[in-house]
A and B are shown apart, each in its own frame.
Chain A
Amino acid sequence: MVITGVCLLAFLVVLCFFLGYMERKVAAFMEIRLGPNRVGPKGSMQIVADTVKLLFKEGLTPDGADKFLFNLAPFIVVITSMLVVAPIAYARDFQLWDINIGVLYVSSISSMAVIGILMAGWSSSNKYSLIGAMRSGAQIVSYELSIGLSLISIVILSGSLQLSEIIESQANGWWIFKGHIPVIISFVIFIIASTAEINRAPFDLTEAEQELTGGFHTEYAGMKFAMFLLSEYINLFVVSAIAATIFLGGWMPFHIGGLDAFNHIMDYIPSSIWFFGKTFLIIFIIMWFRWTFPRLRIDQLLNLEWKYLLPISMVNILLVTAMAIMGWHF
Protein backbone atom coordinates (compact mmCIF):
# COMPACT_ATOMS: atom_id res chain seq x y z
CA MET A 1 0.00 0.00 0.00
CA VAL A 2 2.85 2.36 0.91
CA ILE A 3 4.70 1.50 -2.30
CA THR A 4 1.66 2.10 -4.47
CA GLY A 5 1.09 5.38 -2.64
CA VAL A 6 4.63 6.54 -3.31
CA CYS A 7 4.32 5.46 -6.95
CA LEU A 8 1.09 7.43 -7.23
CA LEU A 9 2.73 10.55 -5.78
CA ALA A 10 5.64 10.25 -8.21
CA PHE A 11 3.17 9.74 -11.03
CA LEU A 12 1.27 12.87 -9.96
CA VAL A 13 4.41 15.01 -9.91
CA VAL A 14 5.43 13.80 -13.38
CA LEU A 15 1.87 14.38 -14.54
CA CYS A 16 1.99 17.95 -13.21
CA PHE A 17 5.21 18.58 -15.13
CA PHE A 18 3.53 17.31 -18.25
CA LEU A 19 0.36 19.33 -17.64
CA GLY A 20 2.39 22.48 -17.06
CA TYR A 21 4.19 21.95 -20.34
CA MET A 22 0.95 21.10 -22.13
CA GLU A 23 -0.76 24.19 -20.75
CA ARG A 24 2.02 26.49 -21.89
CA LYS A 25 2.11 24.95 -25.35
CA VAL A 26 -1.68 24.97 -25.76
CA ALA A 27 -1.79 28.59 -24.59
CA ALA A 28 0.95 29.57 -27.00
CA PHE A 29 -0.61 27.86 -30.02
CA MET A 30 -4.01 29.40 -29.29
CA GLU A 31 -2.43 32.83 -29.04
CA ILE A 32 -0.44 32.29 -32.28
CA ARG A 33 2.83 32.07 -30.36
CA LEU A 34 5.52 29.39 -30.16
CA GLY A 35 5.64 28.77 -26.42
CA PRO A 36 8.67 27.38 -24.59
CA ASN A 37 11.17 26.03 -27.11
CA ARG A 38 14.63 26.57 -25.61
CA VAL A 39 15.20 24.05 -22.80
CA GLY A 40 15.31 20.49 -24.04
CA PRO A 41 13.68 19.20 -27.23
CA LYS A 42 10.78 21.51 -28.14
CA GLY A 43 11.09 23.13 -24.71
CA SER A 44 9.90 20.03 -22.88
CA MET A 45 12.42 20.51 -20.05
CA GLN A 46 11.27 24.06 -19.34
CA ILE A 47 9.09 23.03 -16.40
CA VAL A 48 12.00 21.09 -14.86
CA ALA A 49 14.16 24.19 -15.17
CA ASP A 50 11.42 26.29 -13.54
CA THR A 51 11.11 23.80 -10.69
CA VAL A 52 14.86 23.85 -10.07
CA LYS A 53 14.69 27.64 -10.00
CA LEU A 54 11.84 27.58 -7.48
CA LEU A 55 13.74 25.07 -5.31
CA PHE A 56 16.62 27.50 -4.95
CA LYS A 57 14.45 30.49 -4.11
CA GLU A 58 14.07 31.71 -0.57
CA GLY A 59 10.84 30.63 1.09
CA LEU A 60 9.94 34.05 2.42
CA THR A 61 7.44 34.50 5.25
CA PRO A 62 6.17 38.09 5.64
CA ASP A 63 6.63 39.82 9.00
CA GLY A 64 2.95 40.48 9.60
CA ALA A 65 1.87 36.98 8.64
CA ASP A 66 0.44 34.36 10.95
CA LYS A 67 3.51 32.16 10.58
CA PHE A 68 1.99 28.80 11.48
CA LEU A 69 -1.07 29.11 9.24
CA PHE A 70 0.95 30.71 6.48
CA ASN A 71 3.31 27.74 6.29
CA LEU A 72 0.56 25.18 6.78
CA ALA A 73 -1.78 26.43 4.03
CA PRO A 74 0.11 25.14 0.96
CA PHE A 75 0.31 21.65 2.47
CA ILE A 76 -3.43 21.62 3.17
CA VAL A 77 -4.15 22.62 -0.39
CA VAL A 78 -1.86 19.95 -1.85
CA ILE A 79 -3.05 17.23 0.53
CA THR A 80 -6.73 17.82 -0.21
CA SER A 81 -6.13 17.66 -3.94
CA MET A 82 -4.07 14.48 -3.55
CA LEU A 83 -6.74 12.86 -1.39
CA VAL A 84 -9.24 13.11 -4.21
CA VAL A 85 -6.97 11.08 -6.46
CA ALA A 86 -7.41 7.96 -4.29
CA PRO A 87 -10.68 6.47 -5.62
CA ILE A 88 -9.98 7.04 -9.32
CA ALA A 89 -9.85 3.93 -11.50
CA TYR A 90 -6.94 4.21 -13.93
CA ALA A 91 -7.49 0.99 -15.84
CA ARG A 92 -9.38 -2.28 -15.70
CA ASP A 93 -8.92 -3.74 -12.16
CA PHE A 94 -6.56 -0.92 -11.26
CA GLN A 95 -8.14 1.16 -8.55
CA LEU A 96 -6.32 2.02 -5.34
CA TRP A 97 -9.31 2.47 -3.09
CA ASP A 98 -12.71 1.28 -4.26
CA ILE A 99 -14.78 3.03 -1.61
CA ASN A 100 -18.53 2.42 -1.79
CA ILE A 101 -19.39 6.14 -1.53
CA GLY A 102 -16.82 7.24 -4.13
CA VAL A 103 -18.85 10.04 -5.70
CA LEU A 104 -19.77 11.51 -2.32
CA TYR A 105 -16.14 11.25 -1.16
CA VAL A 106 -14.83 13.04 -4.24
CA SER A 107 -17.34 15.86 -4.11
CA SER A 108 -16.88 16.45 -0.38
CA ILE A 109 -13.07 16.31 -0.26
CA SER A 110 -12.59 18.46 -3.35
CA SER A 111 -14.54 21.31 -1.74
CA MET A 112 -12.21 21.18 1.26
CA ALA A 113 -9.43 22.85 -0.73
CA VAL A 114 -11.11 26.18 -0.06
CA ILE A 115 -10.07 25.87 3.61
CA GLY A 116 -6.42 25.93 2.56
CA ILE A 117 -7.06 28.84 0.23
CA LEU A 118 -8.88 30.83 2.92
CA MET A 119 -6.07 30.00 5.34
CA ALA A 120 -3.45 31.26 2.88
CA GLY A 121 -5.39 34.45 2.19
CA TRP A 122 -6.12 35.19 5.84
CA SER A 123 -2.64 34.49 7.23
CA SER A 124 -0.78 36.51 4.58
CA SER A 125 -1.92 39.81 6.19
CA ASN A 126 -2.31 41.27 2.73
CA LYS A 127 -5.57 42.74 1.52
CA TYR A 128 -5.19 41.34 -1.98
CA SER A 129 -4.71 37.85 -0.61
CA LEU A 130 -7.73 38.23 1.61
CA ILE A 131 -9.98 39.49 -1.18
CA GLY A 132 -8.85 36.63 -3.41
CA ALA A 133 -9.50 34.05 -0.72
CA MET A 134 -12.96 35.45 0.05
CA ARG A 135 -13.88 35.35 -3.63
CA SER A 136 -12.72 31.77 -3.75
CA GLY A 137 -14.98 30.96 -0.81
CA ALA A 138 -18.02 32.52 -2.48
CA GLN A 139 -17.21 30.74 -5.69
CA ILE A 140 -16.80 27.25 -4.25
CA VAL A 141 -19.88 27.52 -2.03
CA SER A 142 -21.95 28.42 -5.10
CA TYR A 143 -20.57 26.05 -7.67
CA GLU A 144 -20.41 23.05 -5.35
CA LEU A 145 -24.21 22.82 -5.72
CA SER A 146 -24.14 22.46 -9.47
CA ILE A 147 -21.37 19.88 -9.31
CA GLY A 148 -23.33 17.86 -6.79
CA LEU A 149 -26.55 18.01 -8.79
CA SER A 150 -24.88 17.03 -12.03
CA LEU A 151 -23.13 14.09 -10.35
CA ILE A 152 -26.43 13.03 -8.77
CA SER A 153 -28.03 12.67 -12.20
CA ILE A 154 -25.59 9.87 -13.01
CA VAL A 155 -25.94 8.37 -9.55
CA ILE A 156 -29.70 8.15 -10.18
CA LEU A 157 -29.18 6.44 -13.53
CA SER A 158 -26.53 3.97 -12.40
CA GLY A 159 -28.00 3.45 -8.94
CA SER A 160 -24.67 3.48 -7.15
CA LEU A 161 -22.20 5.85 -5.54
CA GLN A 162 -19.31 3.46 -6.10
CA LEU A 163 -17.05 4.55 -8.94
CA SER A 164 -16.29 0.99 -10.08
CA GLU A 165 -20.01 0.20 -10.31
CA ILE A 166 -20.66 3.41 -12.22
CA ILE A 167 -18.01 2.32 -14.71
CA GLU A 168 -19.50 -1.19 -14.92
CA SER A 169 -22.91 0.30 -15.66
CA GLN A 170 -21.40 1.88 -18.78
CA ALA A 171 -20.22 -1.41 -20.30
CA ASN A 172 -22.93 -1.23 -22.98
CA GLY A 173 -22.45 2.49 -23.67
CA TRP A 174 -21.24 5.59 -21.92
CA TRP A 175 -23.83 7.58 -19.98
CA ILE A 176 -23.35 10.60 -22.21
CA PHE A 177 -24.71 8.50 -25.11
CA LYS A 178 -27.18 6.40 -23.14
CA GLY A 179 -28.70 9.26 -21.18
CA HIS A 180 -30.00 11.43 -24.04
CA ILE A 181 -30.01 15.23 -23.74
CA PRO A 182 -30.42 15.54 -19.92
CA VAL A 183 -27.10 13.79 -19.33
CA ILE A 184 -25.39 15.94 -21.95
CA ILE A 185 -26.75 19.01 -20.14
CA SER A 186 -25.48 17.76 -16.80
CA PHE A 187 -22.09 16.96 -18.39
CA VAL A 188 -21.81 20.54 -19.67
CA ILE A 189 -22.87 21.89 -16.27
CA PHE A 190 -20.31 19.65 -14.57
CA ILE A 191 -17.52 20.92 -16.83
CA ILE A 192 -18.47 24.57 -16.25
CA ALA A 193 -18.90 24.20 -12.49
CA SER A 194 -15.74 22.20 -12.02
CA THR A 195 -13.75 24.77 -14.00
CA ALA A 196 -15.06 27.25 -11.45
CA GLU A 197 -14.25 24.99 -8.54
CA ILE A 198 -10.61 24.55 -9.49
CA ASN A 199 -10.31 28.35 -9.87
CA ARG A 200 -9.23 28.34 -13.48
CA ALA A 201 -10.00 31.01 -16.05
CA PRO A 202 -12.63 32.20 -16.91
CA PHE A 203 -13.44 31.78 -13.22
CA ASP A 204 -9.98 32.68 -11.90
CA LEU A 205 -10.97 35.83 -10.06
CA THR A 206 -9.41 34.23 -7.00
CA GLU A 207 -6.02 35.09 -8.37
CA ALA A 208 -7.05 37.70 -10.98
CA GLU A 209 -3.54 38.96 -11.72
CA GLN A 210 -4.62 42.36 -13.00
CA GLU A 211 -6.65 43.25 -9.91
CA LEU A 212 -5.13 41.24 -7.08
CA THR A 213 -1.48 40.74 -8.17
CA GLY A 214 -1.85 37.00 -7.61
CA GLY A 215 -4.73 36.63 -5.16
CA PHE A 216 -4.31 34.28 -2.25
CA HIS A 217 -0.76 33.29 -3.16
CA THR A 218 0.57 36.85 -3.55
CA GLU A 219 2.92 36.50 -0.58
CA TYR A 220 4.20 33.02 -1.36
CA ALA A 221 7.55 32.32 -2.98
CA GLY A 222 9.74 29.37 -3.77
CA MET A 223 8.49 25.84 -3.15
CA LYS A 224 5.46 27.00 -1.16
CA PHE A 225 4.28 28.80 -4.27
CA ALA A 226 5.09 25.73 -6.35
CA MET A 227 2.78 23.73 -4.05
CA PHE A 228 -0.18 25.88 -5.06
CA LEU A 229 0.75 25.36 -8.69
CA LEU A 230 1.06 21.61 -8.11
CA SER A 231 -2.35 21.45 -6.50
CA GLU A 232 -3.87 23.45 -9.35
CA TYR A 233 -2.69 20.88 -11.86
CA ILE A 234 -3.62 17.90 -9.71
CA ASN A 235 -7.10 19.42 -9.35
CA LEU A 236 -7.30 19.84 -13.10
CA PHE A 237 -6.41 16.19 -13.59
CA VAL A 238 -8.82 15.02 -10.88
CA VAL A 239 -11.76 16.97 -12.22
CA SER A 240 -11.15 15.69 -15.73
CA ALA A 241 -10.69 12.13 -14.51
CA ILE A 242 -13.95 12.29 -12.57
CA ALA A 243 -15.79 13.69 -15.59
CA ALA A 244 -14.28 10.96 -17.76
CA THR A 245 -15.21 8.28 -15.21
CA ILE A 246 -18.77 9.39 -14.61
CA PHE A 247 -19.91 10.59 -18.00
CA LEU A 248 -17.51 9.02 -20.51
CA GLY A 249 -17.20 5.55 -18.99
CA GLY A 250 -13.77 5.65 -17.34
CA TRP A 251 -11.63 2.89 -18.80
CA MET A 252 -14.56 1.37 -20.74
CA PRO A 253 -13.81 1.12 -24.46
CA PHE A 254 -16.11 2.75 -26.98
CA HIS A 255 -18.76 0.26 -28.03
CA ILE A 256 -21.59 0.53 -30.52
CA GLY A 257 -24.39 -1.93 -30.03
CA GLY A 258 -24.63 -4.48 -32.88
CA LEU A 259 -21.23 -3.87 -34.47
CA ASP A 260 -19.37 -6.84 -32.94
CA ALA A 261 -16.27 -6.57 -35.13
CA PHE A 262 -15.87 -2.89 -34.30
CA ASN A 263 -16.38 -3.54 -30.57
CA HIS A 264 -13.78 -6.29 -30.70
CA ILE A 265 -11.18 -3.97 -32.21
CA MET A 266 -11.96 -1.37 -29.57
CA ASP A 267 -11.37 -3.97 -26.83
CA TYR A 268 -7.78 -4.43 -28.03
CA ILE A 269 -6.88 -0.85 -27.08
CA PRO A 270 -5.65 -1.03 -23.45
CA SER A 271 -8.10 0.28 -20.89
CA SER A 272 -5.54 2.71 -19.43
CA ILE A 273 -5.24 4.37 -22.85
CA TRP A 274 -9.01 4.78 -22.92
CA PHE A 275 -9.00 6.36 -19.49
CA PHE A 276 -6.10 8.75 -20.12
CA GLY A 277 -7.37 9.58 -23.60
CA LYS A 278 -10.73 10.69 -22.23
CA THR A 279 -9.12 12.51 -19.32
CA PHE A 280 -6.76 14.44 -21.53
CA LEU A 281 -9.58 15.29 -23.92
CA ILE A 282 -11.42 16.97 -21.05
CA ILE A 283 -8.20 18.61 -19.79
CA PHE A 284 -7.72 20.02 -23.26
CA ILE A 285 -11.27 21.35 -23.33
CA ILE A 286 -10.77 23.08 -19.96
CA MET A 287 -7.50 24.58 -21.23
CA TRP A 288 -9.33 25.67 -24.36
CA PHE A 289 -11.82 27.51 -22.13
CA ARG A 290 -9.00 29.18 -20.26
CA TRP A 291 -7.24 30.58 -23.29
CA THR A 292 -10.42 31.71 -25.05
CA PHE A 293 -12.81 33.27 -22.57
CA PRO A 294 -12.44 36.54 -20.70
CA ARG A 295 -12.72 36.49 -16.92
CA LEU A 296 -16.16 36.92 -15.32
CA ARG A 297 -16.91 39.70 -12.88
CA ILE A 298 -17.94 38.58 -9.39
CA ASP A 299 -21.62 39.50 -9.95
CA GLN A 300 -21.63 37.75 -13.32
CA LEU A 301 -20.09 34.73 -11.66
CA LEU A 302 -22.85 34.49 -9.07
CA ASN A 303 -25.53 35.29 -11.66
CA LEU A 304 -24.35 32.41 -13.80
CA GLU A 305 -24.58 29.99 -10.94
CA TRP A 306 -27.74 31.04 -9.14
CA LYS A 307 -29.82 32.20 -12.10
CA TYR A 308 -28.74 29.75 -14.78
CA LEU A 309 -26.77 26.66 -13.75
CA LEU A 310 -28.67 25.83 -10.56
CA PRO A 311 -32.25 26.14 -11.91
CA ILE A 312 -31.31 24.29 -15.07
CA SER A 313 -29.66 21.46 -13.18
CA MET A 314 -32.67 21.17 -10.85
CA VAL A 315 -35.06 20.79 -13.79
CA ASN A 316 -32.54 18.45 -15.31
CA ILE A 317 -32.56 16.23 -12.22
CA LEU A 318 -36.35 15.90 -12.58
CA LEU A 319 -35.97 14.84 -16.20
CA VAL A 320 -33.26 12.33 -15.35
CA THR A 321 -35.33 10.90 -12.51
CA ALA A 322 -38.34 10.52 -14.79
CA MET A 323 -36.09 8.86 -17.34
CA ALA A 324 -34.68 6.46 -14.77
CA ILE A 325 -38.13 5.52 -13.43
CA MET A 326 -39.69 5.01 -16.84
CA GLY A 327 -36.57 3.23 -18.14
CA TRP A 328 -36.25 5.50 -21.18
CA HIS A 329 -32.47 5.31 -21.22
CA PHE A 330 -30.71 2.50 -23.03
Chain B
Amino acid sequence: MFLKEYFGTIFNSVKSLLTGMKLTGYYFTHLKEIVTEEYPDNRATLKMAERFRGEVTMPHNENNEHRCTGCQSCELACPNGSIKIITKQEIQADGKKKKRIDTWVYHLDMCTLCNLCVIACPSEAIVMGQNFEHSVYDKKQLKKILNKTGSKLMEGVEE
Protein backbone atom coordinates (compact mmCIF):
# COMPACT_ATOMS: atom_id res chain seq x y z
CA MET B 1 0.00 0.00 0.00
CA PHE B 2 2.82 2.37 0.91
CA LEU B 3 4.78 1.37 -2.17
CA LYS B 4 1.74 1.92 -4.36
CA GLU B 5 1.34 5.44 -3.01
CA TYR B 6 5.08 6.11 -3.34
CA PHE B 7 5.33 5.10 -6.95
CA GLY B 8 1.95 6.69 -7.69
CA THR B 9 3.34 10.02 -6.49
CA ILE B 10 6.39 9.64 -8.70
CA PHE B 11 4.29 8.68 -11.70
CA ASN B 12 1.83 11.54 -11.23
CA SER B 13 4.50 14.16 -10.71
CA VAL B 14 6.51 13.03 -13.73
CA LYS B 15 3.33 13.05 -15.78
CA SER B 16 2.38 16.57 -14.73
CA LEU B 17 5.91 17.85 -15.30
CA LEU B 18 5.94 16.33 -18.77
CA THR B 19 2.58 17.95 -19.51
CA GLY B 20 4.08 21.32 -18.66
CA MET B 21 7.16 20.65 -20.76
CA LYS B 22 4.95 19.62 -23.67
CA LEU B 23 3.22 23.00 -23.59
CA THR B 24 6.40 25.07 -23.42
CA GLY B 25 7.95 22.82 -26.05
CA TYR B 26 4.97 23.50 -28.28
CA TYR B 27 5.43 27.25 -27.87
CA PHE B 28 9.17 26.92 -28.52
CA THR B 29 8.61 25.13 -31.80
CA HIS B 30 5.66 27.25 -32.95
CA LEU B 31 7.07 30.76 -33.16
CA LYS B 32 3.98 32.09 -34.90
CA GLU B 33 2.21 31.92 -31.52
CA ILE B 34 4.28 34.88 -30.27
CA VAL B 35 1.93 37.59 -29.03
CA THR B 36 4.42 40.44 -28.62
CA GLU B 37 3.54 43.64 -30.50
CA GLU B 38 6.59 45.65 -31.53
CA TYR B 39 4.64 48.83 -30.91
CA PRO B 40 6.43 51.87 -32.31
CA ASP B 41 7.57 49.86 -35.34
CA ASN B 42 4.15 48.55 -36.25
CA ARG B 43 2.16 51.74 -35.76
CA ALA B 44 0.94 51.65 -39.34
CA THR B 45 -0.54 48.17 -39.04
CA LEU B 46 -1.41 48.18 -35.35
CA LYS B 47 -4.80 46.62 -34.72
CA MET B 48 -6.34 47.08 -31.30
CA ALA B 49 -8.85 44.68 -29.77
CA GLU B 50 -12.44 45.57 -30.49
CA ARG B 51 -13.31 46.09 -26.83
CA PHE B 52 -10.27 48.30 -26.22
CA ARG B 53 -11.24 51.64 -24.61
CA GLY B 54 -9.02 54.50 -25.68
CA GLU B 55 -11.24 57.58 -25.49
CA VAL B 56 -14.89 58.61 -25.79
CA THR B 57 -15.83 59.60 -29.32
CA MET B 58 -19.00 60.80 -30.97
CA PRO B 59 -19.42 59.41 -34.48
CA HIS B 60 -20.80 61.76 -37.10
CA ASN B 61 -22.23 60.66 -40.42
CA GLU B 62 -21.35 62.15 -43.81
CA ASN B 63 -23.96 64.94 -43.44
CA ASN B 64 -22.25 66.09 -40.23
CA GLU B 65 -25.07 64.68 -38.11
CA HIS B 66 -24.70 62.99 -34.73
CA ARG B 67 -27.15 61.02 -32.62
CA CYS B 68 -26.90 62.97 -29.36
CA THR B 69 -30.25 64.31 -28.12
CA GLY B 70 -28.75 66.18 -25.20
CA CYS B 71 -30.52 64.07 -22.57
CA GLN B 72 -27.47 64.31 -20.27
CA SER B 73 -27.71 60.68 -19.12
CA CYS B 74 -23.99 60.34 -19.73
CA GLU B 75 -23.25 63.39 -17.64
CA LEU B 76 -25.22 61.87 -14.77
CA ALA B 77 -23.61 58.49 -15.22
CA CYS B 78 -20.06 59.81 -15.23
CA PRO B 79 -18.53 59.03 -11.83
CA ASN B 80 -15.97 61.85 -11.84
CA GLY B 81 -17.56 64.62 -13.87
CA SER B 82 -15.51 64.32 -17.03
CA ILE B 83 -18.52 65.14 -19.18
CA LYS B 84 -20.20 68.53 -19.37
CA ILE B 85 -23.10 69.03 -21.80
CA ILE B 86 -24.25 72.54 -22.61
CA THR B 87 -27.65 72.67 -24.27
CA LYS B 88 -29.58 75.35 -26.09
CA GLN B 89 -33.13 75.84 -27.31
CA GLU B 90 -33.40 75.58 -31.08
CA ILE B 91 -36.38 76.63 -33.17
CA GLN B 92 -37.35 73.86 -35.52
CA ALA B 93 -38.74 74.14 -39.04
CA ASP B 94 -42.32 73.73 -37.74
CA GLY B 95 -41.86 76.58 -35.27
CA LYS B 96 -41.51 74.43 -32.17
CA LYS B 97 -38.65 74.97 -29.73
CA LYS B 98 -36.56 71.94 -28.90
CA LYS B 99 -33.57 71.20 -26.69
CA ARG B 100 -30.39 70.56 -28.67
CA ILE B 101 -26.76 70.26 -27.63
CA ASP B 102 -24.53 73.24 -28.00
CA THR B 103 -21.20 71.78 -26.87
CA TRP B 104 -20.36 68.32 -25.65
CA VAL B 105 -17.31 68.89 -23.42
CA TYR B 106 -15.14 65.90 -22.66
CA HIS B 107 -12.31 66.11 -20.14
CA LEU B 108 -9.95 63.34 -21.19
CA ASP B 109 -7.55 64.22 -18.39
CA MET B 110 -10.16 63.22 -15.79
CA CYS B 111 -11.70 60.31 -17.65
CA THR B 112 -11.01 56.83 -16.29
CA LEU B 113 -12.38 55.13 -19.44
CA CYS B 114 -14.92 53.23 -17.32
CA ASN B 115 -17.40 52.97 -20.19
CA LEU B 116 -20.40 53.95 -17.97
CA CYS B 117 -21.38 56.88 -20.22
CA VAL B 118 -21.52 54.64 -23.28
CA ILE B 119 -23.74 52.19 -21.39
CA ALA B 120 -25.98 55.01 -20.13
CA CYS B 121 -26.53 56.60 -23.54
CA PRO B 122 -30.06 55.78 -24.77
CA SER B 123 -29.44 56.72 -28.39
CA GLU B 124 -25.98 55.22 -28.96
CA ALA B 125 -24.52 58.61 -29.69
CA ILE B 126 -21.13 57.99 -28.09
CA VAL B 127 -18.76 55.04 -28.45
CA MET B 128 -15.34 54.18 -27.16
CA GLY B 129 -12.57 54.99 -29.65
CA GLN B 130 -9.40 52.99 -30.30
CA ASN B 131 -6.88 55.83 -30.27
CA PHE B 132 -4.59 55.66 -27.26
CA GLU B 133 -1.79 58.06 -28.13
CA HIS B 134 -2.99 60.96 -26.00
CA SER B 135 0.23 62.49 -24.73
CA VAL B 136 0.40 66.28 -25.10
CA TYR B 137 2.55 68.96 -23.52
CA ASP B 138 -0.35 71.15 -22.43
CA LYS B 139 -3.12 69.84 -20.21
CA LYS B 140 -5.63 72.18 -21.85
CA GLN B 141 -5.44 70.17 -25.06
CA LEU B 142 -7.06 67.26 -23.23
CA LYS B 143 -10.32 69.17 -22.90
CA LYS B 144 -12.16 68.17 -26.03
CA ILE B 145 -15.41 69.19 -27.69
CA LEU B 146 -16.86 66.11 -29.28
CA ASN B 147 -19.63 67.54 -31.47
CA LYS B 148 -18.24 69.07 -34.62
CA THR B 149 -19.01 72.67 -35.49
CA GLY B 150 -22.31 73.05 -37.28
CA SER B 151 -23.35 69.48 -36.63
CA LYS B 152 -27.01 68.61 -36.23
CA LEU B 153 -29.07 65.89 -34.65
CA MET B 154 -29.73 63.00 -36.98
CA GLU B 155 -33.33 62.66 -38.19
CA GLY B 156 -35.43 60.14 -36.34
CA VAL B 157 -33.27 59.67 -33.29
CA GLU B 158 -35.48 61.65 -30.94
CA GLU B 159 -38.74 59.76 -31.57
> What is A's interface to B at a CB cutoff of 8 Å?
26, 29-34, 288-289, 291-293, 308
Contact = CB atoms under 8 A, between A and B. Distances in A.
Contact of B20 (A31, A33, A292): A292
Interface size class of B (residues with CB under 8 A): 10 to 19
B10 A31 contact: no
Contacts of A291: 24
A26 B27 CA distance: 10
Contact of A30 (B17, B28, B36, B38): B28
The secondary-structure label for the interface of chain B is: helix
16 contacts: A26-B28, A29-B27, A29-B28, A29-B31, A30-B24, A30-B25, A31-B27, A32-B35, A34-B34, A34-B36, A288-B21, A291-B24, A292-B17, A292-B20, A292-B23, A293-B20
Given A288-B25, A292-B24, A32 B10 contact: no
A300 to B, nearest CB: 10
Contacts of A293: 17, 20
Given A29-B31, A293-B17, A308-B10, A288 B24 contact: yes
Interface of B: 10, 17, 20-21, 23-25, 27-28, 31, 33-36, 38
B32 to A, nearest CB: 10
Contacts of B34: 29, 32-34
A33 B24 CA distance: 12
Nearest to A188: B14
A31 B23 CA distance: 10
A108 to B, nearest CB: 30
Contacts of B28: 26, 29-30, 288
Nearest to B25: A288
Contacts of A31: 27
A107 B115 CA distance: 63
A323 B31 CA distance: 45
Contact of B21 (A29, A32, A292): A292
A304 B27 CA distance: 28
